[in-house]
Amino acid sequence: MSEPNVNSSPAPAQPADPHQIARVAALQMVSTPDPDRNLAEAERLIAEAAADGAQLVLLPEYFCFMGFKDTDKLSVREPWQDGPIQRFLADAARRHGVWVIGGTLPLTAPEPERVLNTTLVFDPQGNEAARYDKIHLFSFEKGEESFDEARTIRPGETVRTFDAPFGRVGLSVCYDLRFPELYRAMGNCALIVVPSAFTYTTGRAHWELLLRARAVENQCYVLAAAQGGKHENGRRTWGHSMLIDPWGEIVAVRDEGAGVVAGNLDRARIAEVRQSLPAWRHRVLT
């Protein structure tokens, strides 16, 4: 697992490695309170993305479970490196020969009344390659909408990245998107991922704006996999899973409903943007 490096230099204009272009996919879901149904849907989408040539697939936040109340997630929490959800992710990565970034799942926390909201990464051999515990916990009050993740989630503390064949990948989750300092701490990334379950209200207002800003300011690709639709628990999520290039242009997007959003990550495009407008090189406060 790579540790963040704020002093990384920009990618060269012509990368020496052969992995200049990689196909990546965000999987949009409308998860339910039934983990088995969710895993079956995730398997279907991973298979579809892999058949289309994806080398890396990203699942959304809470891909495995969306309960009727916040405390329901305690019933499906797993100890780290053991449990059916983690075995599913490892098996799917190995079976399809792709990098699988497992959105988030609830892992056991020190406090019995809380969990860690965790992203796990598995390489194409099914080995765990990285773990990130969501740092920033969402809180929102507007009308009948009320959220306070800190009641049931313990925050993480450490910025995490990992190295894929096409470059460094920075890990973040949903509400993290509003904190640009997190992404600066990741260093020189080719790709930033954002598994999410944005509410319809906040998503409509800020989702695309924030994603494009993170791509532009870090001059790298951003891949966001979202929950997108009306859930059985009554919650409505914004969706609009998308891939954004280093210039802030949307490569692919899906508004609502389950499906695959795929596109190519091109290292030459990163180098072109950074050479044309060298903001990455002009950073002073690092």
Phi (first) and psi of residue 154, to 5 degrees: -90, 130
Phi (first) and psi of residue 117, to 5 degrees: -95, 100
Locate the DSSP E strands across 29-160: 56-58, 99-101, 105-108, 115-122, 128-133, 139-142, 145-148, 153-154
DSSP state of 187: B
d(CA 104, CA 132): 9
Partnered with residue 146 across adjacent β-strands are 141
Q: How far is CA 52 from CA 31, 90, 264, in A?
A: 23, 20, 11
Which residues have CB under 8 Å from 216's CB, separation 6+?
Answer: 246, 247, 248
DSSP state of 9: P
Residues marked as catalytic: 61, 134, 174
